[in-house]
Amino acid sequence: MNAPDFSSLNPVTIAVFTALAVLSMVATTVTLYKIAQFMSLGVGRRKRAEDVVSDWLSGKSDTALRAASTRKTTLLRVLQATFSGLQARPGDQAYAEELGRQTALIELAAMSRRMRILEAVVQAAPMLGLLGTVIGMIDAFSNLAQAEGAVDPALLAGGIWTALTTTAVGLVIALVFYFVAIWLEGRIDGERHSMETLMSAAIYGRVTGTSGRS
């Protein structure tokens, strides 16, 4: 079979390849942005927050407040809001829980920002690839219909191969960034669970039986 001649691609197929390249670059940029953002927000750094809650529950409220006030991670910011509520209204646990919940929602919204772009790329890339294949196949069989005399099977096969390439490229892009999106969503879900667990522990105490501070 002759090597596919990409120089003979019709303008629409070239546009599809260009769109796929743009989608890939956009998704890569978003991925790098999210990784840098998660590092900046301190996503996944639970050990320090666990120590802060332990200090709070053991009566070292000043130490816990100083550590939470640094607000270096998402968990510390949620704990700082929770501790502020507990201090402002010692007898109203619901108030502290609400302050912590509001802070958690703000942090989760920041972590979820631009995730829809990745979802859009995952959905759009295969469809664009399929569009390029359909257009390429139409073009290949149009050339076949217009050919005079015997048709070179190798030339036809090369045209079909070129057309199918757009679908393959679209699927590769979609698969790669599907797993990237799953990984990022997993980080967000893990942080959400940590927020809920630590906030509850700070207000009501740990499951192990240690009393929480009211």
Which two structure tokens, joined as six digits, stand for 68? 């939470």
The domain segmentation of the chain, as residue ranges, is 6-141+151-204
Q: What pLDDT, on a 0 to 100 scale, did the predictor assign at position 210?
A: 43
Question: Taking 90 as the threshold, does the pLDDT of residue 207 lie above it?
Answer: no
Question: Taking 50 as the threshold, does the pLDDT of residue 209 lie above it?
Answer: no
Question: Taking 90 as the threshold, does the pLDDT of residue 164 lie above it?
Answer: no
User: Which residues have CB under 8 Å from 22's CB, separation 6+?
Assistant: none
Please tell me whether the overall predicted TM-score, pTM, comes out greater than 0.85 for this model.
no
Sort residue 205 into left (φ over 0), alpha (ψ -120 to 50) or beta.
left
- pLDDT tens figures, 62-88: 888 888 888 889 999 999 999 999 888
Point out the least confidently predicted range of 6-10, 37-41, 156-160.
6-10
What is the percentage of the chain residues whose pLDDT exceeds 70? 84
Higher pLDDT, 186 or 3: 186
